[in-house]
Amino acid sequence: MRASSAHRFLILAVSVAACSGTVDGSSPGPREASEEADAEAAPDEGAPADEADPCAAPCGEAEADPPASLPDEGAGDEEPAVEAPEGPETAESEDNDTVATADLLGPVPSSIDAVLGERDTDFFELQVNAAASVNIETGPIADGGDLVDTVVEVFDNQGIATSLGSDDDGADIPLFSRLTVELPEAGAYTIKVTGYSDSTTGGYALSISARQ
Q: What is the pLDDT of residues 133-187, one digit of tens each?
A: 999 999 999 877 788 999 999 999 887 889 999 999 999 998 999 999 999 999 9
Please check whether residue 146 lies inside any domain of the structure.
Answer: yes
pTM: predicted TM-score of the whole model, two decimal places: 0.58
- Asked whether residue 68 is assigned to any structural domain, the reply reads no
Secondary structure E strands in the chain: 103-104, 110-116, 121-128, 132-139, 150-155, 163-167, 178-183, 187-195, 202-210
Whether residue 148 contacts residue 113, with contact meaning beta carbons closer than 8 Å, is answered with no
Q: What is the CATH number of the domain that holds 140?
A: 2.60.120.380
Please choose, from the candidates 153, 129, 130, 152, the residue with its C-alpha nearest in 3D space to the C-alpha of residue 139.
Answer: 152
Evaluate whether 190 touches 123 at the Cβ level (below 8 Å).
Answer: yes
Task: Give the per-residue pLDDT at 143.
Answer: 78
pLDDT reported for residue 70: 53
pLDDT beneath 50, residues of the chain: 1-3, 10, 12-27, 30, 33-34, 37, 39, 41-42, 46-50, 52, 54-57, 59-60, 71, 74-87
Please give the Cα distance from 116 to 150 (Å, whole number). Answer: 9
Amino acid at 2: R
Residue 38 lies in a domain: no
Let me know if residue 81 belongs to a domain.
no
Q: Which domain holds residue 127?
A: 103-210
pLDDT at 157: 85
Provide the pLDDT for residue 142. Answer: 84
Residue 44 lies in a domain: no
Q: What letter represents residue 202's amino acid? A: G
Instruction: Count structural domains, the chain.
Output: 1
Asked, for residue 80, whether it belongs to a domain, the answer is: no
Determine, yes or no, domain membership for 36.
no
Does 134 fall in a domain? yes
Rounded to whole angstroms, the Cα distance separating 119 from 198 reads 4
Q: What is the pLDDT of residue 97?
A: 92
Q: What is the pLDDT of residue 22?
A: 44
